[in-house]
Amino acid sequence: MRTYFLNRLLQSLLLLLVILTVNFFLFRVMPGDPVRLLFHDPRITAEQQERLSRLFGLDKPLIVQYGYYLVNTLRGDLGMSFFYREPVAPIIFKRLANTIILLLPSVCLSILIGGFLGSISAWKRGTKLDAAIFSSSLLFWSTPLFWLGLAIILLFIGIWPISGMKTAGADYPNLLAQVKDLLSHMVLPLITETLVLQAQYTMIMRSSLLDVLTEDYIVTARSRGFAEKTVLRKYAVPNAMLPMITLIAINMGLLVAGAIQVETVFSWPGVGRLMYDSIIQRDYPLLQGAFLIVAISVIVANLIADLVYGYLDPRVRIGGAKH
């Protein structure tokens, strides 16, 4: 297990270095002069522009800038936002909290609902219930998320708030009133995100469980007289959960990225909406910092998934150690 862990950790660190490198050079080839984007002043003379370039180190060779970038990133300095004129890191982490508030409950609900519906669908394969669950899951999985969000707004407009994280100009008498207002704003984006995510979990769980139900140990358990519910709960579902772990890890990693479409449709001030605004404003340092945070979260989530997978399935651990 120790060798397996060290191999996966080394692979993750190498992948992080590659992502840091791509993240640096990708934004250096984008159009626009950084100095003019930073100061938004067309009256800047060529001499002033050259002086500012020297001040920000933009006159140095790319390899030198790359070295500074790596050192500053390791220190937690992600640069200065062109639009907000503030350090990038505090802006991202403030929005990150808003994203987690919205998407963490959505992911948890999706796992529970998708795992349950997928199990029922596989258990009742070929029945009308299976057809209904399978069809609805396929529908939600294939529906564009922004379209679903707009449809839900039309259905519930006037019943629940349709934008923002809180009522504009509201004066809360106590913490309970503030929490109630926050929860009311969460309802529609939470429903939208959960409907799409649970469809993925339902489809994956159904497919995985159908494969598991054909295994020899399931046939043996049934031949020993165990009740069908016992076979499903004790033998089939735990083994069918292995593929779910990968999907859960991916979604938990992308949790930090936020749901750009949901946050944009419902004007939720999270990381996804921040990335969208950064593209519109051509705020490259902020966009670069957001991409980096997203990449790190995905790497960490996948590392955790690999370790959990290796713990649950020794065959994966042994195979990984050999390589």
- Residue 19 to residue 52: CA distance in whole angstroms: 28
Measuring CA to CA, which residue among 263, 317, 290 is closest to residue 94?
290
Decide yes or no: CATH 1.10.3720.10 for domain 92-322: yes
Cα dihedral 319, 320, 322, 323 sign: positive
- pLDDT at 280 > cutoff 70: yes
Would you tell me the crossing angle of helices 314-322 and 284-312 to the nearest 10 degrees? 110
Q: Say how many residues make up the chain.
A: 323
pLDDT, position 316:
56
- pLDDT at 301 > cutoff 90: no
Domain ranges of the chain: 92-322
Please state the rounded mean pLDDT for residues 311-320: 58
Please state the rounded mean pLDDT for residues 132-153: 91
Are 201 and 305 within 8 A, CB to CB?
Answer: no
pLDDT, position 183:
92
- pLDDT at 317 > cutoff 60: no
Give the least confident one: 127-136, 139-148, 209-218.
209-218
The residue whose two tokens read 């934008």 is 163
- pLDDT at 18 > cutoff 70: yes
Confidence of residue 319 (pLDDT cuts 50, 70, 90): low
Are 9 and 303 within 8 A, CB to CB?
Answer: yes
Tally of CA atoms within 13 A in the half-sphere of 96 that contains its CB: 17
The CA-atom distances, in angstroms, between 238 and each of 208, 265, 288, 320 are: 11, 37, 40, 22
Per-residue pLDDT reduced to its tens digit, 51-62: 766 766 667 777
Per-residue pLDDT reduced to its tens digit, 221-249: 888 888 877 888 777 887 787 777 777 77
Confidence of residue 153 (pLDDT cuts 50, 70, 90): very high
Are 289 and 69 within 8 A, CB to CB?
Answer: no
Per-residue pLDDT reduced to its tens digit, 164-216: 888 877 788 888 988 899 999 999 999 999 998 899 899 999 998 888 888 88
110-137: burial string, b at 16+ Cβ within 10 Å, e else? bbebbbbbbbbbbbeeeeeebeebbeeb
pLDDT, position 189:
93
| 128's tokens | 């009308």
pLDDT, position 283:
80
pLDDT, position 314:
59
Confidence of residue 35 (pLDDT cuts 50, 70, 90): low
Please state the rounded mean pLDDT for residues 276-285: 82
3-state secondary structure the chain: CHHHHHHHHHHHHHHHHHHHHHHHHHHHCCCCCHHHHHHCCCCCCHHHHHHHHHHCCCCCCHHHHHHHHHHHHHCCCCCECCCCCCEHHHHHHHHHHHHHHHHHHHHHHHHHHHHHHHHHHHHCCCCHHHHHHHHHHHHHHHCCHHHHHHHHHHHHECCECCCCCCCCCCCCCCHHHHHHHHHHHHHHHHHHHHHHHHHHHHHHHHHHHHHHCCCHHHHHHHHCCCCHHHHHHHHHHHHHHHHHHHHHHHHHHHCCCCCHHHHHHCCCCCHHHHHHHHHHHCCHHHHHHHHHHHHHHHHHHHHHHHHHHHHHCHHHHHHHHHC
Confidence of residue 318 (pLDDT cuts 50, 70, 90): low
pLDDT, position 131:
93
